[in-house]
Structure 1
């Protein structure tokens, strides 16, 4: 059986202590360079593969410093500090002598405690009640995901019309289906199309500057999610002076909150 496209894309070859060789994947190509979610997942995988890692990811931030060129890259990861149950990481992707991504991560040994969720999953139709995605020859990476929009889908026409808000709700999973893990959850956190496109239906050039994912689930809970759909909900708070933000939540089908994510995105008039 051939490897899943996602596993091929994030595969890393050891190059010595804290260093791995990777390669961009045409299966996750975007308009310019690769899909940002796959690049973030590649850097996170360097932390996940590190033999000194303690625990599981709790927080992860990726900063996109420059466009990633098609071709090889070097992934670097090192623990900056290790405490009794937490560990703080610094990671980087380099191409030639240039840094194209910097990242930080916090991993931790999780323990059972009292818990509650203050953001319940919205009441929406299930993924089986919504049409599968239409393949329209857009950028290649969207073909790697099954995205079924509840509301706030891609603009039907680039006519400059304004929506009242930037909210999008959709069911999503890898295509073909793949068991969920931390790397794929990080990538799924970036599948939402730019909020500014939702607000004004104008093909505005954009670029993610920084993306943070908070993992509210441990590895066992992700394994229970299997290859099922996740419900994602995203909205922006403000658009101003060439930047806007995005906040999103991702739940599994039973309604458990798995991750929340935040971004700041550059846009050009």
Structure 2
């Protein structure tokens, strides 16, 4: 199945959580977000610029229903809410701003780190969950998970193995594509399900080719941690920024 088939929705918003996107605690959060983003983008008819999704419960592989409401359609920007349900229960709620580019000054920059380019041969990832089979996944930042490192940074090259262009829904997967940035600091597995994920889309889409992603975390407290992400195109353009709050459960 292709990614387009995995996020397909009929005219009434009916779709399927596809097999192959599993993590240790249900389907991959970025993929679930992509399904809802697809419905919301279709309703807006514009590119997402900011999209936040809250995850209420992990869905299972099987039928889902996505609905989107255009709360306001202005001349330059549309505000859309979205709801993803399974078996009559909400699993994700979204709020997004969809807009074309505005004219304005360009100030500042976020330089892309200097790292080796993606390799044509991706080495195997021992113990990786099934969803990584869908992705180019080549680490370039940070220590290995559960190695007791002194920094909370992960990332590297990420994209679709088939080279599919990266549009709004696809970017949701990329923004949640790596293992949690807090994991290298730990010495054993602690599940880390996402509570909410926000993606800011900082350049025109779609983009073809893998992205360089870097994710970092500063604090885990009371069973929660935050994670910030930056994603660049190969030519150094910052294409997206992300932030999520996630749980850090007992081992």
TM-score, scaled relative to structure 2 = 0.93
Check conservation: 2:25, 2:58, Cα contact below 8 A.
yes
Q: State the number of aligned residues.
A: 250
1:99-138 counterparts in 2 under 5 A?
99-128=90-119, 132-136=122-126, 138=128
Which among 151, 161, 164 is matched to residue 175 of structure 1? 161
Q: Could you list the per-position Cα deviations for residues 238-257 of structure 1 after superposition, in whole angstroms to 9, with x for gaps in the alignment? A: 11000000001000000000
Residue 72 (str. 1) matches residue 63 (str. 2): yes
For structure 2, list consecutive stretches of 5 or more residues without a partner in the other structure: none
Identify the residue that residue 46 of structure 1 maps to in structure 2: 39
Residue 143 (str. 1) matches residue 148 (str. 2): no
Which among 84, 91, 94 is matched to residue 75 of structure 2? 84
CA, structure 1 residues 117+174, in 2 after alignment: closer, same or farther (shift >3 Å)? farther
Residue 267 (str. 1) matches residue 245 (str. 2): no
Q: Give the match's secondary structure for 1:26.
A: coil
Rounded Cα–Cα distance in structure 2 between residues aligned with 1:41 and 1:117:
30
Question: How many angstroms does 1:137 deviate by?
Answer: 5.3
Q: Could you list the per-position Cα deviations for residues 100-130 of structure 1 after superposition, in whole angstroms to 9, with x for gaps in the alignment? A: 10011101131343324432101111113x8
Check conservation: 2:142, 2:151, Cα contact below 8 A.
no
For structure 1, list consecutive stretches of 5 or more residues without a partner in the other structure: none
Identify the residue that residue 5 of structure 1 maps to in structure 2: 2
CA, structure 1 residues 118+56, in 2 after alignment: closer, same or farther (shift >3 Å)? same
CA, structure 1 residues 115+176, in 2 after alignment: closer, same or farther (shift >3 Å)? same
Check conservation: 1:162, 1:199, Cα contact below 8 A.
yes
Identify the residue that residue 173 of structure 2 maps to in structure 1: 187
Check conservation: 1:249, 1:260, Cα contact below 8 A.
yes
Which among 210, 213, 225 is matched to residue 244 of structure 1? 225
The two structures, once aligned, show a CA RMSD in angstroms of: 1.7
